[in-house]
Structure 1
Amino acid sequence: MAITMTDSAARHVQRSLSKRGKGVGLRLAVKTSGCSGLAYAIEFADEALPEDVSFESHGMQLLVDARSLPFLDGTQLDFVREGLNEGFKFHNPNSKAECGCGESFAV
């Protein structure tokens, strides 16, 4: 099992952690939500939790709880700028459908 991030995402996380002045990486999870059933949850992690599985990509740590891991296995996290908008984008090979607004997905 593996979860990775692009160089662009790693640079963004590193800059954000530096601005915060603390943190060990990024925590990814899925939660039940939205019209397609599942939604991504993302937050900066100040410490690893006992239930976290850790992945390293481009020198940054990604933490995923064991329950979310089957839904995120193989995912690549990117950070993109499109016009005036910017944000994280999930390239998830497990996703079979996404809602029109892009907030939720189904496997």
Structure 2
Amino acid sequence: MAVEKQVVIITEAAAFRIKEMMEHNEEQGAFLRVGVNGGGCSGLTYGMSFTTEKNDDDILDNQHGLEIVVAGEDAPILAGTKIDYKQSLMGGGFTIDNPNAIANCGCGTSFKAAARPAEPQPCE
């Protein structure tokens, strides 16, 4: 049975952009899945995707009208992580601030966390 709890913090700007992407991809009503995958030069990478499935161990949350799911095994690594969307003259993009990351790679796409050791991979 899924548990309701806040793991990640989605800013209003990020939620607005995610909802725009959902509409563009005709994914209204889907969950936003936030997770951690192995890979990158520091060992772990973030993942965000749309899904209609939720698993028994998922943690559910609703922020700014956005339904968010996080796998139970990823929750300790993502606890307190803030996801924002910033727009600049060069374009826009999501930023992720994870208080559990003990190191970030130079290219900015992967991180290392004490809670889940992972094997670093070559940068692409």
Specify the alignment match of 1:18 in structure 2.
23
Q: Which residue of 2 aligns with 1:86?
A: 92
Report % sequence identity. 34
Coordinate RMSD, CA, aligned: 1.6
1:15 match: secondary structure: helix
The two structures have a TM-score, normalised by structure 2, of 0.77
Matches within 5 A, 1:2-81: 2-22=7-27, 23-81=29-87
- Please tell me the residue identity of whatever aligns with 2:96: F
**Where has structure 1 moved over 4 Å in runs of 4 or more?**
none
CA distance in 2, matches of 1:53, 1:26: 12
Q: CA deviation at 1:49?
A: 2.9
Tell me the distance in 2 between the aligned counterparts of 1:16 and 1:48. Answer: 20
**Kept in 1: contact 2:7–2:70 (CA 8 A):** no
Whole-angstrom CA distance in 2 between matches of 1:91 and 1:38 = 14
State which structure, 1 or 2, has the greater radius of gyration over its C-alpha atoms: 2
Deviations 1:27-65 (A, max 9, x none): 111111111111101111223233321111112111111
Name the count of aligned residue pairs: 107
Distance 1:91 1:83 in 2: 22
The answer to whether the 8 A contact 1:5-1:76 is kept is yes
Question: Residue 77 of structure 1 aligns to a residue in which SS?
Answer: strand
What runs of 5+ residues in structure 2 fail to find an aligned partner?
Answer: 1-5, 114-124
Moved more, 64-73 or 13-22: 13-22
Kept in 2: contact 1:24–1:48 (CA 8 A) = no
CA contact (8 A) 1:28 1:41 kept: yes
